[in-house]
Chains A and B, each alone.
Chain A
């Protein structure tokens, strides 16, 4: 049973990242019949487990009434037992809240290596090359694990979803008789006010970093966004400085955007931020330092002081707009 994927369930079925993991597995793993989605649940989870078969993967459904909701210790203990029994080569998790709670607990129980937040995966000589930005350093790191299964969490939204396959996968169902005890008991669950990111679906994103120097300068991005019909994004440091709320943060700990146009003002381009804009079609960077990473990566690199360029760009675009109305 070579390539395992954790089948995280939500209220609406599988988490979208599961299909993304299936997609990448089908691309890199030479024996597609070995790709297995492992999901835990109570009897009610059957339709969800069934639904995945359409993507041509094997589904291992472990069920017991006590597994009806996610519990860190219980889920990790059940998975640990199955990993010991089946010895998969790879075990991937989505880097979601649940994935990030479960994968490290499992890795700790089994004394396994675990790589967080991968943005690319390769297979080389049976080794899973786990690629992630090495934050703070503006480099990507290729990481391998000495232990088996090779475990990684994968950033949601970076891989395309798997497509339905012509042949259905099999469903292996196992009703668990004995469960290890859990110290956790859910007392209540609340829906979280769905914080739709102001950035989601934006076709134009204007973002600012520390190079804008002050909160006042940063505020001007809203004017620009209004003129362009876009949304405002930010780097982590400026969110931490209180210039803007974290809902606007782009990057590892924030949102992933894929706009037609992205303009970054005073952003050096730490990978922490740029992993969130990989899907942007046209990247414009404004920075005094032509050697800054974002400037090198940009399609249009504007060498200049972002605090000077931003107000002028707003003025110029206003003129252009008014000119349009005149004609």
Chain B
């Protein structure tokens, strides 16, 4: 029983972080119809910035603030300087139409190389603002810490804020409209370019928070967020790629699934399991767990 509860709690924590990366991917997808593989690269830069701040000042929350601002600026920069250029040519053929997605893969490689050149390939780490020591309940150690609670709370708050913006503000409505029918959105008075940039800014923020929250329980290296990108992407697909609550649900389902494999089967089967889940999701729920033609996505 103790192992079962522990497995669920670990899964919930892992799932929260996958959810944040999934949110970042969904936000970009919803605003520009691009799967942003560079999201991991952007997040690794912001996490190294956080690392620099936290090692120099010892103030974790200042590091989070810097990471979030850097994530927002990076997101805006990638959209403004790279995506807008590529989007001018998307009507010129099938390859040009795919160019923005392919470019994000290229950008991921460039960013990781640059990060390796600047910070090296050594593993680094930084301490969280609260304890990572597991709770002891009735004499039993539960694999759940104050930091895990912080991770889950942070994800919940971020999800609520983004859902509120998307569902209850004119900005959110504009973001949703601009993604699907940019020309008609323009005729309704929406400046589609800046609106798309805002979508990338939000995604940059979510990715930055994910990077900062996963590192205290892990290590930091130029490739350390690659797995997070893959799992975040799978979570986003499970959630339907369109829906913010779907991304969170997908992350939690995947996190708990990974935790069960980790605790009851072994680490070697984690990746095969994740990709089998991805394939099953695509085959049986291609519109995602919350996706349906008749149900409005958040």
A and B associate in one complex: no
Residue positions of A touching B, CB distance < 8 A = none
